[in-house]
Amino acid sequence: MIDKTVASLEEAVAGIFDGATVMIGGFGTAGQPAELIDALIAQGAKDLTIVNNNAGNGEIGLAALLKARRVKKIICSFPRQADSHVFDALYRAGEIQLELVPQGNLAARIQAAGAGLGAIFTPTGYGTLLAEGKETREIDGKHYVLEYPIKADFALIKALQGDRWGNLVYRKTARNFGPIMAAAAATTIAQVSEIVPLGALDPEVIVTPGIFVQRVVAVSGAASARVA
Amino acid sequence: MIDKTVASLEEAVAGIFDGATVMIGGFGTAGQPAELIDALIAQGAKDLTIVNNNAGNGEIGLAALLKARRVKKIICSFPRQADSHVFDALYRAGEIQLELVPQGNLAARIQAAGAGLGAIFTPTGYGTLLAEGKETREIDGKHYVLEYPIKADFALIKALQGDRWGNLVYRKTARNFGPIMAAAAATTIAQVSEIVPLGALDPEVIVTPGIFVQRVVAVSGAASARVA
Amino acid sequence: MNKLTRDQMAERVARDIPEGSYVNLGIGLPTKVANYLPKDREIFLHSENGLLGMGPAPAPGEEDPELINAGKEPVTLLDGGCFFHHGDSFAMMRGGHLDICVLGAFQVSKKGDLANWHTGAPDAIPAVGGAMDLAIGAKKVFVMMDHLTKSGECKIVERCGYPVTGIDCVDRIYTDLAVIDVTPDGLVVLEMVEGLDFDELQRLTPVPLTLAA
Amino acid sequence: MNKLTRDQMAERVARDIPEGSYVNLGIGLPTKVANYLPKDREIFLHSENGLLGMGPAPAPGEEDPELINAGKEPVTLLDGGCFFHHGDSFAMMRGGHLDICVLGAFQVSKKGDLANWHTGAPDAIPAVGGAMDLAIGAKKVFVMMDHLTKSGECKIVERCGYPVTGIDCVDRIYTDLAVIDVTPDGLVVLEMVEGLDFDELQRLTPVPLTLAA
């Protein structure tokens, strides 16, 4: 019997190695797998490359991972926020690398990795600083930039419910990057509010099929909706 | 008030012009919008370029459209089937053009159109007849073929339920090409078994958001599940 | 002259959004446009973080941290709205499915180049978010901004001095002084505020303007 | 020698599919493999037309024309299975998410090129379906075919004479005579049927074979 559920957060993040590329779901705190990030901090992996839309808020979650000096590089679209002081300080001190990617290119590059494409021509960013040095091409009168897939060794994501085959459904705008990161990582680890029996999720409404998920761990339901 | 529902199949296919590119959903007959195709035959548009996975079965649906000599060219992955005699005869007589595309490239090119990408490097077909003359590139040690988006003027698709904003849900494997074609066509016309009130479809389970759909027409519920 | 307030600008933009439009309102000033959309028009608001059919802010106490907009503020969902992932959300933008997006700006060039993401200051931490996707994706890009900076320089310029967000992408500019279309023949003034005449507007604006016929 | 029947070949392939594998069984002979998957192993069957967790054929009278497999035959869905669109379905294939796909073949070259979609006959109507996606997408590509054609020519060849489906993509060949791995060092015979010795297999096969250690 295949059972992708694991009993603890420790087990969920086991094996994340130094130097790994780790995608972390979430748009701000919505969909951010805060408990998995805390477990990753406790686990100790360092020199990580993190892929996330943002670069952490306040002192918790991703910001706490940065503060613990585990992150060598971050690939994101919107690092600077009102409460991104942990990132800001590391960046100004030259202690973290930043690859800034327009949000839609971030999404498209993650999707390209999951879908096995070698590269894509995207119109976003053409003619801007963020396309400097990149190959461009005019196709049908419109200008495009060649962008490459972003793959990951691990993805940490948050969903509402999961089953032992790894099928997932999400809640409202906490869905955001979860489904596309799940497909782009070799090992996808999902924290869910509830593990449900196989067959409990309607096959028409499963958002992430279990093929994209390797580990599922339950965290307390209350955590799912809190402002992490 | 926005109401994308139309009262008749005639109204649904109004304006499809001679020479248009028309995507038609379905994998074989599952998901094939048979009633819309019949309405298109009655409507009379000709010199069409059709995008479908197949090239018609038996004498009905897409096969009937071919038989009525309305189709100049078909873009598909699997024209030859046990019951594709209408296509076979036209093809052998040189009366229809065929662009044969591997099924996954067909899907990816349709998706690229919907997502506004200029082109994609796909591994499928590399080194084969179907990539002859196409640009190729080695990326990270793997070989890829450059493929361009397939856009359409119209898409005819079949869904289970729709609402007046054009939101759609599908049924089982009749989903197939519907969602990606809806996003790739300027005007997407969906036949549904049932039109439901706004808000009746759970926002978490809507598969095709109404932004991709311009017209919705109800056909009898029984028709939805029949072997068309 | 009667410069428009920020609310008046938002109201003015709202007037130009037809029923049935799919619209993305950028962070900041454009967000205000939602407050002035006529109640008798159904307009579909898109938010980059994966929702369509966005409704107004929730009543106090009804906020849901998992139902937010691009600015990470709590919102609501209308009946008929839906959720989707980031891939689909940006496909909507990049694929030209949005009718209108409304963005703030530092500068717009006479050719319609937009600068709104980065001051270019050497010590600034850059952040782009969805700005570049919105700039090139929507069928029509409306910009809302003050006509002049606080120090009196015009934000409509020959060439953007700030790093651009997109090239040749702005269709219409709403300022506190005028409404101006970016056309292949140059900038065309559609409206001016009460008490402002064309010569005065041209004097404030360092690129050639013409008055709409 | 005791050539394997088609059912025996299917049974042999089934033995090599570990629990938890995501597997696509091609149209035709490979479909038979499903009949021999051990009941005590959970194996996830994928069908290109948008389902994962495919179950066996329905009982007579229970067929649903909207629940079919890639061969357009009625199937069922297991608890835990799900539906998705063609974009997602082929992303699973192309993106390397399937562990194994099992395909029929006209020919396999010693380097692992596969020919299974087109005879190349001038009057043939070509049809490719998902064959090329499966050939290059799965982590392991297993081919099932007779060792020899009806006229006695070996289907394992120096170079494919038929148009190829994919280059360098086959990992293992199951024939009615042998199980053969395609390795960087050439073709390695893992098993032969009872009554067949290596010299005889090599005599029938026009490319160099080695016997697994």
The reported pTM is 0.97
Helix (H) or strand (E) holding A158: strand A152-162
- DSSP code at position B83: T
Q: Are A186 and A155 in contact (CB under 8 A)?
A: no
Average pLDDT value for chain B: 95
Closest CA to C91 of B169, D143, B211: B211
Asked whether the beta carbons of residue A172 and residue C66 sit closer than 8 angstroms, the reply is yes
**Measured between alpha carbons, how far apart are the two ends of chain C, in Å?**
23
Q: Are B217 and B11 in contact (CB under 8 A)?
A: yes
What would the pLDDT profile of B143-176 be if each residue is shown by its tens digit? 999 999 999 999 999 999 999 999 999 999 999 9
Concatenate the DSSP letters of all residues of chain C into one string: --PPPHHHHHHHHHHT--TT-EEEEPSSGGGGGGGGS-TTS--EEEETTTEEEEE-PPPTT---TTSB-TTS-B-EEEEEEEE--HHHHHHHHHTT--SEEEEE-SEEETT--EE-S----TTPPP--TTHHHHHHHSSEEEEE--SB-TTS-BSEESS-SSPPSBSS---EEE-SSEEEEEETTEEEEEEE-TT--HHHHHHH-SS-EEE--
What would the pLDDT profile of A102-131 be if each residue is shown by its tens digit? 999 999 999 999 999 999 999 999 999 999
Of B92, B100, B107, the CB nearest to D126: B100
Asked whether the beta carbons of residue A77 and residue C126 sit closer than 8 angstroms, the reply is no
Neighbours of B19 (CB within 10 A): 11
Crossing angle of the two packed helices D86-94 and B103-115, in degrees rounded to 10: 120
Architecture field, domain C6-211:
3-Layer(aba) Sandwich (3.40)
What is the SS3 string spanning A84-96? Answer: CHHHHHHHHCCCC
Please report, as a single letter, which amino acid is at residue B214.
Answer: Q
Whole-angstrom CA distances from D135 to C90, C110, D138 are 31, 52, 7
Judged by a CB distance cut-off of 8 A, whether residue D53 touches chain B is no
What would the pLDDT profile of B198-220 be if each residue is shown by its tens digit? 999 999 999 999 999 999 999 98
Backbone conformation region of residue A202, classed left if phi is above 0, alpha if psi is from -120 to 50, else beta: beta
Judged by a CB distance cut-off of 8 A, whether residue C133 touches chain A is yes
pLDDT attached to residue B15: 98
CA distance D180 to D167: 18
Please report, as a single letter, which amino acid is at residue C165.
Answer: T
pLDDT attached to residue B218: 98
Of B117, B137, B172, the CB nearest to A122: B117
> Three-state SS for B203?
coil
Would you say residue C172 has pLDDT above 80? yes
> Three-state SS for A26?
coil
> Which band of pLDDT confidence, cut at 50, 70 and 90, is reported for residue A221?
low
Residues in D closer than 8 angstroms to B227, CB to CB, are 65
Based on its alpha-carbon atoms, the radius of gyration of chain C, rounded to whole angstroms, reads 17
Q: Are B161 and B194 in contact (CB under 8 A)?
A: yes
In degrees to the nearest 10, what's the CA dihedral of D120, D121, D127, D131?
Answer: -30
Residues in C closer than 8 angstroms to A159, CB to CB, are none
* The pairing of beta strand A152-162 with beta strand A168-169: antiparallel
pLDDT above 90: percentage of residues in chain C:
95
pLDDT attached to residue D5: 97
Q: What is the mean pLDDT of residues A195-199?
A: 98
What is the SS3 string spanning chain D? Answer: CCCCCHHHHHHHHHHCCCCCCEEEECCCHHHHHHHHCCCCCCCEEEECCCEEEEECCCCCCCCCCCCECCCCCECEEEEEEEECCHHHHHHHHHCCCCCEEEEECCEEECCCCEECCCCCCCCCCCCCCCHHHHHHHCCEEEEECCCECCCCCECEECCCCCCCCECCCCCEEECCCEEEEEECCEEEEEEECCCCCHHHHHHHCCCCEEECC
CA distance B29 to B27: 6
Catalytic status, residue D63:
no
What would the pLDDT profile of B59-72 be if each residue is shown by its tens digit? 999 999 999 999 99
Residue A132 CA, distance from chain mean position? 25
CA distance B193 to B196: 10
Looking from the CA of B80 toward its CB, the CA atoms found within 13 Å total: 11
Backbone conformation region of residue C111, classed left if phi is above 0, alpha if psi is from -120 to 50, else beta: alpha
Token reading at A33 = 């797998």
What would the pLDDT profile of A121-166 be if each residue is shown by its tens digit? 999 999 999 999 999 999 999 999 999 999 999 999 999 999 999 9
User: D94: distance to nearest CA of chain B, Å?
Assistant: 8
CA distance A112 to D62: 39
Token reading at A63 = 């910001």
CA distance D173 to C185: 66
pLDDT attached to residue A127: 97
Judged by a CB distance cut-off of 8 A, whether residue D36 touches chain A is no
Residues in C closer than 8 angstroms to B152, CB to CB, are none
| pLDDT average per 10 residues of sequence, chain D (213 residues) | 95 98 95 94 97 96 97 96 98 98 97 94 90 96 98 97 96 98 97 97 98 92
User: B186: distance to nearest CA of chain C, Å?
Assistant: 9
Closest CA to C94 of D191, A91, A165, B149: B149
Residues in B closer than 8 angstroms to A107, CB to CB, are none
pLDDT attached to residue B225: 43
Token reading at A74 = 């971050």
Q: Give the largest Cα separation in chain D, rounded.
A: 52
CA distance D50 to B54: 16
pLDDT attached to residue C55: 95
Q: Are D69 and D154 in contact (CB under 8 A)?
A: no
Catalytic one among D48, D62, D191, D194? D48
Beta bridge partners of A51: A23, A75
CA distance A37 to A156: 8
Positive or negative: CA dihedral C7, C12, C18, C23: negative
CA distance B120 to D14: 36
Q: Are A65 and A38 in contact (CB under 8 A)?
A: no
CA distance C107 to C114: 6
Closest CA to D85 of C127, B168, C60, C48: B168
Average pLDDT value for chain C: 96
Q: What is the mean pLDDT of residues C61-70?
A: 97
Write phi, then psi, for C102 (nearest 5 degrees): -115, 120
Judged by a CB distance cut-off of 8 A, whether residue B118 touches chain C is no
Asked whether the beta carbons of residue B113 and residue C83 sit closer than 8 angstroms, the reply is no
User: A59: distance to nearest CA of chain D, Å?
Assistant: 36
What would the pLDDT profile of A14-69 be if each residue is shown by its tens digit? 999 999 999 999 998 899 999 999 999 999 999 999 999 999 999 999 999 999 99
Judged by a CB distance cut-off of 8 A, whether residue D97 touches chain B is no
ipTM above 0.90, yes or no: yes
pLDDT attached to residue D163: 96
- What does chain D come to in residues? 213
User: D82: distance to nearest CA of chain A, Å?
Assistant: 4
Would you say residue B192 has pLDDT above 90? yes
Q: Which residues on chain A place their C-beta less than 8 Å from a C-beta of chain B?
A: 108, 112, 115-123, 137, 139-140, 142, 144, 148, 169-172, 202, 204-205
Asked whether the beta carbons of residue B172 and residue A120 sit closer than 8 angstroms, the reply is no
Would you say residue C90 has pLDDT above 50? yes
In degrees to the nearest 10, what's the CA dihedral of C85, C90, C92, C97?
Answer: 170
D147-154 CB contacts, 8 Å cutoff, 24+ apart = D147/D175, D147/D176, D147/D177, D147/D178, D147/D204, D147/D205, D148/D204, D154/D204, D154/D205, D154/D206
pLDDT above 70: percentage of residues in chain C:
100
**Measured between alpha carbons, how far apart are the two ends of chain D, in Å?**
23
CA distance D118 to D126: 6
E strand residue ranges, B65-195: 71-76, 97-100, 119-122, 136-139, 142-147, 152-162, 168-169, 185-195
pLDDT attached to residue B221: 55
Asked whether the beta carbons of residue B117 and residue A118 sit closer than 8 angstroms, the reply is no
Looking from the CA of C150 toward its CB, the CA atoms found within 13 Å total: 0
Judged by a CB distance cut-off of 8 A, whether residue B163 touches chain C is yes
pLDDT attached to residue C122: 83
Would you say residue B39 has pLDDT above 80? yes
Q: Are A188 and A223 in contact (CB under 8 A)?
A: no
Catalytic one among C48, C62, C191, C200? C48
Q: Give the largest Cα separation in chain C, rounded.
A: 52
Judged by a CB distance cut-off of 8 A, whether residue D55 touches chain A is no
Token reading at A17 = 């190695």
What would the pLDDT profile of A70-111 be if each residue is shown by its tens digit? 999 999 999 998 899 999 999 999 999 999 999 999 999 999
